[in-house]
Structure 1
């Protein structure tokens, strides 16, 4: 996707979230924020935004900073309104728009109600096996198999039973008016005689002379669900056991036998093997275990928390806004009573937040830390590090807050809609399998592209891929790899190993039912036999085993495909990544960042640090860097990550002293460090392919430092400035100047650098003292040079934020004159 398309798409999504929040006044996104989010250069983003505005794809809201909104999103919500292209300072967008939104604002990924098995959140994951068994039990003629549903308190056993009933209705297994009778066994635990009458019914010939339908009668041609069956006494359990064995029952006071014409469901927190229930469970053919919430995948827990908040927003008829860190706390918490406790906690938090909003007369319910229970706050303090899976999800969110509209829709539904894409898309192209002329180079080229897509997938996608792998394939391949002593190396790259396991699984699915052809793998015409003999041998052993199990044939093209994959996997397992050395000013800055990286990023990588403390000389730092570079270098060189000068010039010294290949990036940030470590663990980090962030620059070892700026700093600026941290100011202003010149498509010269840095350093001291210069005919100058003034203002926002000041328009006008 091109950069302008990325920018437009992000602005569009953010505009939709602002619309969902119910207010557009003074809302929008600016170039700096987009540059950070999209990891692009800020000057490029600024130029793209202005080009999109000129093309009438965005509207511009003048101010500091200048904000942008997506025109198409606004027109969708306000179809009968004229959308202005520019909003002047102080004006509100709402003044130009009607307060009525279009009827269709968003489509939630959650159905109005989840009543069928396929609608359950874990249907394609944690509960996949249980749902398949439940469907089979419900469909079995004539009235389904008796089924035992068990799991701890609050896992949703009753709901699962209702979903079985709904599945039977939807698939015409039961008639539309078929009954679902639920029996709470706890209310019938004290008197076995009462239970007998309630279950079997009473005939007219009994002593009471009054007939009474029992549960079995009422549930005829439907489902009878016994909830909490462990509460029944042994005699009642024995009665149920007898009914299941005989498939018939006799009413109390009657001699006529009636056939069992309904499906029986039972739920309990006890396992089927528990002695208290073994008498009953021994005659129940189907047993389904509903797992605890803590055993759900991260994706599934995200879904359940999203669903719960969506329902609360719908129930109270108010928009709910929650910070993503608080939201992630609900996902990571351990709940002893599972879904029940989770939903109760969410309702309790929402009620506290609602009261706060009600008393403050706010239209939005804001959930903050003060609304959380002591238990949640204590959990957060003890478990303040998020898992990689959680970080993976949070990294895809457009903003720091998650918004739930009063109709139940969410601002982040899109994040959870594509978690299965990698597993579903990793399939082989037909030409590789059907064309005998396909070369090994074609195969490897295709495999490299798929491996890159696998390498980009996160923990959630890997989990999804693993669940789609045939267990027999998994066991057969892993066993053979262990025999060949390859598994330890391959296990370091699970994303690649899972990729080939999924591929073989898909091949078996495709070939199932075809007529097998006798093929001797050892004498087959596979090209890989000569080009990749070791991989060919391993593949033959694996496919021989699978051929015997499934009675299918693997042809030569397939052997070449899998052998090529293992060849690439070998290359990955022997790849050496550059070492990473972090050097930062301060007593513990570098150590803290490395500690954080090691905690969050597990894997095999070489990482070290140097704290360039005030009492350390530059000579000592250089000597220590040489020692550590030698330790970190395993043949691929060393990547230096530094914060400020003079550390950025360290690369040339190290390379001259040690002959170790070196690259230097600065300024370093924690996200940049994490990205480098992530690339090292996935074997994609090389000194030729480096991750770059907005504002990050590479300092080449053969590039001389800017002597002119250094002399200007030492001989002029330090002597003329009174209290300003001049080195900090020059570093920041140089960054501002470079971005300004990039926006103006002009090159840097010593003359412009001298004018800009000298004037701006003195200007900063004036603004800090609040001694502003006036500019005569300011309005005329602004109208005549609006474009240059806007570029200067926008690029000085970094300096404003760094020094905590606001530069007035009169001072900006003097700076703009430098570029005229």
Structure 2
């Protein structure tokens, strides 16, 4: 049984123990009691309680402590129905009051999807039309085919019965005027009736629909098909309440009928002006495509539920199929959607005859016309972001309207298996070679781990405390033992990162073993070479796990361990070229490099500096240089910077002894040293690239227009990389295109590419362009400067590009942090429903500026992004009245000084957008800084 189910079961049992007399005031069970009774950590209990409350399964009673009670038992005991979305209750009595208010307000319209959204105004119009004395207002409903005009008219009828305007026996008659539009005489006859002999074939008198609808509603669909004479007869009846049958000369008949018409056309174009004037209430129903994403999904769920009740068998529909249905919304609206879903259920029912549990609708089952909806949705970025907020798993619908039990879900989103399996299936479907797949998998695992660990930053909690919210003490202790072993052999970039990634991976691994989920080795075999230190350590870890937990670790798991170790080890500084600065004088070289490093705020490990006083022999300095070089990895090459004289000959001498390429620049100056250090500190840049860029360097005062000849011959480009060449690469393209105009007037292009055949792609691009840098998730290992994704997020990319392009930092003031703005806006677009990210972003950035001013220190870009996205969501929670509660028993004590800084900075929200954050929301913000 899942953890949430255990907690819910406990609440149900405790709720049943209350007698009806005891259910008053504040009732229920607190989180601490559940934690102790079920031996589940308090933080995990609180998380699941919040999920149960959001799902509407339990009620929450405010106060200290917060109490929880089963909703269904409350409603049965008190004989009430609570609102679907109900805020925290103060007492039982306040809940009963809310239920009574709901009962009073309920009407047939409340059953309509969108009654509180897209149809709210239309429903108010309809209610007014029914209520208007003495017999209501005649109404015209306008909307596209399939939007639900007939259903809306029927709801008007039901509302009339609810409020006593119509009796239970009052008729509701529907007639489609299009059925007889080719025969106007017959059409009028159907509505008003005819006498014997009124026309050829009228062998006897017959009453019309007006008489049949007396004391009720006559709904005329496609009313624009009525001929002008028919419209005239109808508006005369609407005016006077009298009419005549076809063939009669006097209007002596009477009826009390509310006319509701419907049309898909513009009323002014298809109905006479005299007729339109008789219809005071015109209701326009918007097409399904214009309704909210939540309403679209609710309609799909309702239509699926209708089919499920018909076939009496549960239905499972995949995420891709749901998205295709939404993307396919267009002409036909709800009516076409209903037909699509009925057809899909019929096909799935046929295919699933042998499956006794449920029928399944997946993407493969969809007809081509519906499949195209997924492509259409993918091209609409805004719409796709909205869909992703609501759809993240397959939808299950059963005949009793309850979701089928889903597979056990992991307690954490960290899951290497899911990442690798999904990626391999995708790449194999594109017929990509196995060797390339392994390179892409290794790069994606590395990026995935870095991204996940960066998201977990919490400066108020230790890594152990954060992990204890997810996994148990024993596993953390075991991971720390593994870390001790690994640190003896590998340089770990961050112990916290290692504990996070490895303990979470082990947690998922043990769940798979327990559930007997197989691990396939052929998919990832060879991703990490068996001759590496990482693979040998992975073998040792496998043995430790088997000894400690008495289980058998599958061979495939060794590959996963090795990939993790490879991603978590410290990045090698040996991938940078060596710079040697040698100059005549006592302090010349030392002073020059000190100035350069202080200006750049770096301390290079790949920098060798020697001063050569006049009295010292060159051979002495050369020997010292060789001693240093023999302790370093120089395979990327050496850049020798000298002033004059015999030092210039050091280059060929070093190459002869070490067999390593050396490039030499003489007559060096401080600006040249500064530029050399800038460029040599970029990982992956080649010796030739640095040398070529510096060989034409004229100092920071040279004109931007004085470009090297190669720049004139070939236009310049920056390449962005991700696995597919679409998602991340295109986002990076957009960010760089915003940054580049603030750095240089030169027309530099940005081209996104995928990892598949990346080196061939770069070679092809090089034929037409001079590639300044490669930016992305994986280093393509070519002689071009590489800027990793982390440096883009950290905001370092602007200065790095200035260096590579050759524009000195002193030429102009630094640009605004476009990276921060871009990443925040991208995240907010995906997470916000009601607030417009573009409109609140400036306010959020102002909040950040004020907060840093009050704090007295600056936040890093990852901190800022995390903070501003959280604040944007907090502002939306205030609008939706679903603010978070800061439980001081569960979370760390609030830092009052930081909270005060947040309070002062948050006044910008009140002044600019009139939203006030609660103290609890401010407490969460304070805990993040």
Which structure has the bigger radius of gyration? 2
TM-score scaled by structure 2?
0.38
Higher RCO (CA < 8 A, seq sep 6+)? 1
TM-score scaled by structure 1?
0.42
